Amino acid sequence: MAKRDYYEVLGISRDASDADIKKSYRRLAMKYHPDRNPDDADSEERFKEASEAYEVLTDSEKRQVYDQLGHAGLEGAGGMDGGFSGSSFSDIFSDVFGDIFGGGGRGRGSVQRGADLRYGLELDLEQAVRGDSVEIQVPVLTNCEVCSGSGAKPGTNPTTCPDCGGAGQIRVAQGFFSLQQTCPRCRGSGQIISDPCSPCGGRGRVEKRKTLSVRIPAGVDNGDRIRLAGEGEAGIGGGPPGDLYVQMEVREHPIFVRDGANLYCEVPIGFVDAALGGELEVPTLDGRVKLKIPAETQTGKMFRLRGKGVKPVRGGSVGDLLCRVMVETPVKLSDKQKQLLRDFRASLSDGGEKHSPKGTSWFKGVKDFFDGLTG
């Protein structure tokens, strides 16, 4: 039976990329796989046909020969002489589906970079704004000093795993095909430790608390991170260590609230000072400053103190401090004070609109609203 054109088999154009070829083969292999189509000779044949086409078209030399001479150019070359070898099929399937079934994975004993770590560092607002230098203690996995990370007792050495021959992977039959899996005996390390190191139990790493000095730059905010290169967990099999990321967590401040480069605070004042005006001392992160309150100040009025905020860590101008005035109603009044307020209220009754323009306009709006409902 004459073979079909490989491009036609995979349903791709002749200028298809390797990624297009792999995508098409994956789709056909999942559709016609014998385990999905038991006792279906046609599906099995289509599966083999697609695998054969994939092997040729992903090999640059074979693809060049095929494009020039067709099937005739491949006769007798590399298992393509009318049959399809089981070993080449397994390699193809592992290449395309290894990420699904675990084939070709890196074993535990392979050279691997150590894991990155994250450490949450709590700061006061003053520390975050001005910068600081603090010491932290971080639990990390470090190379065992006794065995130098090998996991074997000093004076002994790991031996090659007899089951996988040191590869860390073994082939396991799965119906029509075979897959690579992590060797269960050595757990992918490729080595057997007959006499493990006592302090680390053969793992090659032990947990220790490492003391580090961290320089906090001025202007950091919640969520900002500082990277300490090489201060993460030790690598495996001689691999490089990971990094440590110190993440800022700024505590809530009793007076100030930060929003970017600006600081906000609420300043309570008495209603006499709000009416007559005056001068108040307000706190900043640099000390106290005088804030002039003009007469007839209403509650909620915002005053801006320029340059009393935060200089952002990533650059830019210093922010401002915004003080929101809150007029405070007096409490626990004496009988004399209450009578003075009654007299004061009575003195305002003749010129209510003049003394309380906002109140007058509000009540007028309420009256117009209800008149409209009843009109």
- 8 A C-beta contact, residue 66 and residue 2: no
Please indicate whether residue 280 or residue 366 has the higher confidence score (pLDDT).
Answer: 280
Q: Positive or negative CA dihedral for 252, 253, 254, 260? A: negative
Q: How far is CA 79 from CA 7, 46, 212, in A?
A: 19, 18, 60
**Where residue 182 falls among pLDDT bands split at 50, 70, 90?**
confident
Give me the pLDDT at residue 176, please: 59
pLDDT exceeding 70 applies to what percent of the chain?
81
pLDDT class of 96 with cuts at 50, 70, 90: low
Residue 294's pLDDT is 93
Highest mean pLDDT among 33-47, 106-120, 240-254 belongs to 240-254
pLDDT of residue 355: 67
pLDDT band at residue 8, thresholds of 50, 70 and 90?
very high
- Cβ–Cβ < 8 Å for 111, 237: yes
Query: Is-same-fold flag (6-101; 112-158+199-252)?
Result: no
> What is the pLDDT at residue 187?
77
Question: Is 1.20.1260.10 the CATH classification of the domain at 6-101?
Answer: no
pLDDT of residue 236: 77
* Per-residue pLDDT at 186: 82
**Is a pLDDT exceeding 70 seen at residue 39?**
yes
Q: Encode 132-164: b = buried (16+ Cβ within 10 Å), e = exposed.
A: beeebebebbbbbeebebbbbbeeeebeebeeb
pLDDT the model gives residue 332: 92
d(CA 140, CA 124): 26
pLDDT of residue 108: 42
> What is the pLDDT confidence band of residue 193, given thresholds at 50, 70 and 90?
confident
pLDDT band with cut points at 50, 70 and 90 for residue 125: very high
Q: Is 96 exposed, middle or buried (0-12, 13-18, 19+ CB in 10 A)?
A: buried
The domains of the chain are located at 6-101, 112-158+199-252, 266-328, 335-374
Fold (CATH) for 266-328? HSP40/DNAj peptide-binding domain (2.60.260)
The burial of 171, by beta-carbon neighbours within 10 Å (0-12 exposed, 13-18 middle, 19 or more buried), is given as middle
Q: What is the pLDDT of residue 262?
A: 96
Tokens standing for residue 26: 């994956």
- State the pLDDT at residue 320: 96
**8 Å CB contact between 303 and 291:** yes
Q: Which CATH architecture has domain 112-158+199-252?
A: Sandwich (2.60)
DSSP letter (8 states) at residue 147 = T
Q: Tell me how far apart the alpha carbons of residues 184 and 187 are, in angstroms, rounded to a whole number.
A: 5
- The pLDDT of residue 202 is 85
